[in-house]
Amino acid sequence: MSASREAAGPVPLPADTTTHGLPSSSTSEEYPDIQQGASLLLALRLQDRPILLIGGGVVASQRLYFLLESGAHITIVSPSPLDPSISYRISDPNTSPQITWHDRPYLGREDSIKVTEYDLVMTAIDNNPLSQEVCEMCREKRVMVNVADIPPQCDFYFGAQLRKGPLQILISTGGLGPRAGAMIRDIIRNALPENIEESVEGVGLLRSELRKRAPGVGGQRGQERMDWMKELCDVWGLAQMERFRDEQVRKYVLDEGWEKKKMVAPSEVKQGQRKTTAEIWEQVKHFGHTQWAAGLGGFGAGMAVATVATIYLTRNAAR
């Protein structure tokens, strides 16, 4: 068969496919148009990662705050005096282990501190030529850099940020209008449910326990897990998700929902009242050892008193 195909030449593609092997029936209505020029918004995990921060003023203090919350180790190069908040973080025992401060100006290419020693580099200084030099150094060595207030020299932006517990939201205008981004952030903050932190925490606990029951990444099992979790979130809604912080609620939802391949609505679950047979039996046994024992003891004492009284009355009647 292979010989006959070679003799006949290449096999033409079916009429309903493109040259890339995709159905030609696909339209722009199914897949949105690509609009280049956007930033790729990522949540970087910087725990214990080395970051170089050049500058010690107000803008540098804002950068430092977010870096400290990320758990990074920050090397600050700036002569004193520093912004008061930076001085406070350096002296505070809770944050000082994350900071190394060099009380001097940064010297660019002549400096003993090299950009290649850091995962990210940030400048927040009023010296534009030095900032430009740092940017060139970083791009030569393929180190990502952020030069405050000069978007063309930034590989990443900070944007307007909002944090409520485990929830973090970043608003970016691509460097066009930081104040506009902050205003949009405030609108979002006012629109969020009051219990949003508890809801995110609750759904996180449920998702973690679901992954233990259905481990693995990809494949049919993984897809089923993601589809079930997505539908469950849609059914419960943000306001009800905080109930997942209750261990008994999570257990009931997973036992009666995931294990039985169905959805469990919030109205089907009573907060903290769902117990297994084993738990109920343990409660009964505990009750038997305590309350029933006390009750029987009281019953016995009552019988003894009644017996003595009966004997006393009988003897008096006989007289």
Asked if residues 55 and 146 have their Cβ atoms less than 8 Å apart, the reply is no
Range of the domain at 303: 277-313
Residue 7 lies in a domain: no
- Model pLDDT for residues 157-200, shown as the tens digit of each residue: 888 999 999 999 999 988 888 899 999 999 999 999 889 999 99
pLDDT at res. 8: 46
Residue 39 lies in a domain: no
Residue 37 lies in a domain: no
CATH number of the structural domain spanning residue 181: 3.30.160.110
Does residue 109 sit in the same domain as residue 163? no
Does residue 141 sit in the same domain as residue 185? no
Asked if residues 130 and 104 have their Cβ atoms less than 8 Å apart, the reply is no
* C-alpha span between 33 and 170 (Å, rounded): 23
Does residue 146 sit in the same domain as residue 62? yes
Find the distance separating the first CA and the last CA of the chain, reported in whole Å.
125
Task: Extract the tokens encoding 98.
Answer: 């994350």
pLDDT at res. 157: 87
149 given a catalytic annotation = yes
Residue 288 lies in a domain: yes
Q: Which of 240, 170, 245, 239 is nearest to 204 (CA)?
A: 245
For the chain, residues with pLDDT lower than 70 are: 1-28, 271-319
Residue 45 lies in a domain: no
Does residue 97 sit in the same domain as residue 153? yes
Does residue 245 sit in the same domain as residue 297? no
Residue 20 lies in a domain: no
Residue 31 lies in a domain: no
pLDDT at res. 218: 80
pLDDT at res. 159: 87
Catalytic residue among 83, 103, 126, 149: 149
Asked if residues 59 and 83 have their Cβ atoms less than 8 Å apart, the reply is no
pLDDT at res. 149: 81
pLDDT at res. 297: 52
pLDDT at res. 167: 94
Does residue 177 sit in the same domain as residue 103? no
CATH number of the structural domain spanning residue 116: 3.40.50.720
Number of domains in the chain: 4
Q: Which of 111, 109, 90 is nearest to 99 (CA)?
A: 90
pLDDT at res. 240: 93
